[in-house]
C-alpha cells in the first residue's frame, strides 16, 4: 500500500490533474480533491500517492467498504476557473466509478456542485443539493474522540488540557470550538491571517513558527503534511501528538523518535477518519446519527493499536499500518 495501484494524469489549461488509486480491494477508492500549488510535478505526484495510501489505511481501520484514492490538482485555487472544475469532473468520470472524489484542501462543497455536472462519482455535496453536507465537522469530532481516548490513556481529561492546533482551516477551527466547549485551553497558529480572525474568543494565537514549541498536553497538526521531522520531534514539548492533518510525519523514523521520548503518537488516519466515515455512511443511505454511531470505531481502534503496539514492542505508526494491511484483501 505504499505505492499507488495506478496513477492517472491529465493536463488542462496548463495545470496538471492527478488521480492516485492505491487500492480498490475493499471497494471504490474515495478521497478528496486537493487543489494547491506545488514546487514541482514530482512533488504533486508524490503527495497524491502518499495521501491515497493513507486513505486505504483510513478506510480499512474504520471498517468501511471503500478503497483508498486521492486527487491532486497542481494549481492555484484562487485563480481556478469553472472550466477547470468541469474538466476535473470529466477526468473522474473517465475512471468509471473506480474513484470517487470529495472536498479537500483547496476545494469545498460548492466546487463539488460544479464537478458533479460532469461526473456522478462525487461525494460530500451540500445538503440543499441532495448531498450529506460538509464532512469537516465529523472529522473534527472524530479527532476529539481520539484526543479524549489518548488523554485517558495518559490519566488526563479534556477539561483543563492544553491543546496546540497547527492549522485552523475548516476542520482545525471546528476542533477549536469543540475543545473550548470541553473546557480545554486552546492555542492556535496558522499562516493565513484571515482564518485567525474568524476564530472564537477564548483561543490564544501564537506565531506559526512557535506553535510546535508550546508546552502542551496535545500537539495537533491540522494543516499540511510532513510537518514533524526529526528536529521537531526532538523539540516537541507535549505528551500526545493527535491532529487532523494527513501524513504529518516526514518518515517512520520520526514515529520511533516520538516513542523513544515517551510521546504518544495517534496515527493520523486513525484519528481523522470521521469525515470519510460520514461520506461512507451517506453513500450507504445513512444519516448523521449513523455517522456519530460509527465514529465510536475511532477510540476503539486507538485502544486496539495501543494494545498491539505494546505486545509487539513497536511504535504506533508501524502497528497501525500493520493492522490496516491485515484488513485489506490481497
Please give the grid coordinates belonging to residue 252. 517512520
Query: Strand 185-189's sheet: what is its strand order?
Result: 204-205, 185-189, 162-166, 218-221, 240-241, 264-265
Q: How many helices (H) and strands (E) does the chain have?
A: 13, 12
CB atoms within 10 A of CB 194: 7
Rg over CA atoms, the chain:
19
Q: What share of the chain is helix, strand, coil (3-state, %, to 5)?
A: 45, 20, 35
Query: What is the maximum span of the chain, computed from C-alpha positions, in angstroms?
Result: 54
Rounded to 5°, the CA angle 276-278-280 comes to: 70
Please provide residue 67's backbone torsions phi and psi, each rounded to the nearest 5 degrees. Answer: -100, -170
Q: Which of 70, 98, 194, 289 is catalytic?
A: 70
The verdict on whether 70 is a catalytic residue reads yes
How far apart are the C-alpha atoms of 241 and 218, rounded to whole Å?
Answer: 6
What positions carry a catalytic annotation?
70
Amino acid at each position: 500500500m505504499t505505492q499507488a495501484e495506478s496513477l492517472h494524469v491529465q493536463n488542462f489549461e496548463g495545470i496538471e490533474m492527478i488521480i492516485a488509486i492505491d487500492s480498490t480491494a475493499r471497494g471504490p477508492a474515495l478521497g478528496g480533491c486537493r487543489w494547491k500549488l506545488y514546487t514541482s510535478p514530482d512533488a504533486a505526484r508524490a503527495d497524491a500517492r502518499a495521501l491515497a495510501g493513507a486513505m486505504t489505511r483510513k478506510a480499512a481501520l474504520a471498517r468501511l467498504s471503500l478503497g483508498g484514492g486521492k486527487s491532486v490538482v497542481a494549481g492555484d485555487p484562487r485563480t481556478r476557473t469553472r472550466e477547470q472544475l468541469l474538466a476535473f469532473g470529466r477526468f473522474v468520470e473517465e475512471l468509471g466509478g473506480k474513484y470517487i472524489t470529495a472536498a479537500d484542501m483547496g476545494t469545498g462543497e460548492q466546487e463539488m456542485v460544479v464537478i458533479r455536472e460532469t461526473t456522478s462519482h462525487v461525494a460530500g455535496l451540500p445538503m440543499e443539493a441532495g448531498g450529506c453536507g460538509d464532512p469537516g465537522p465529523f472529522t473534527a469530532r472524530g479527532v476529539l474522540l481520539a484526543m479524549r481516548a489518548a488523554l485517558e490513556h495518559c490519566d488526563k481529561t479534556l477539561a483543563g488540557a492544553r491543546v496546540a492546533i497547527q492549522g485552523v482551516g475548516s476542520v482545525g477551527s471546528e476542533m477549536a470550538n469543540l475543545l473550548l466547549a470541553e473546557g480545554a485551553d486552546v492555542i492556535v497558529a496558522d499562516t493565513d491571517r484571515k482564518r485567525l480572525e474568524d476564530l472564537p474568543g477564548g483561543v490564544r494565537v501564537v506565531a506559526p513558527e512557535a506553535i510546535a514549541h508550546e508546552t502542551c498536553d496535545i500537539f495537533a497538526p491540522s494543516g499540511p503534511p510532513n510537518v514533524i521531522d526529526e528536529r521537531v520531534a526532538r523539540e516537541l514539548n507535549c505528551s500526545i501528538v493527535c491532529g487532523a492533518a494527513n501524513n504529518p510525519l516526514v518518515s517512520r523514523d520520526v514515529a520511533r523518535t516520538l516513542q523513544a521520548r515517551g510521546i504518544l503518537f495517534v496515527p493520523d488516519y486513525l484519528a481523522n477518519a470521521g469525515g470519510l466515515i460520514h461520506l461512507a455512511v451517506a453513500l450507504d443511505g445513512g444519516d448523521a446519527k449513523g455517522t456519530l454511531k460509527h465514529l465510536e470505531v475511532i477510540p476503539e481502534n486507538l485502544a486496539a493499536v495501543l494494545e498491539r503496539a505494546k505486545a509487539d514492542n513497536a511504535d504506533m505508526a508501524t502497528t497501525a499500518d500493520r493492522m490496516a494491511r491485515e484488513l485489506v484483501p490481497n
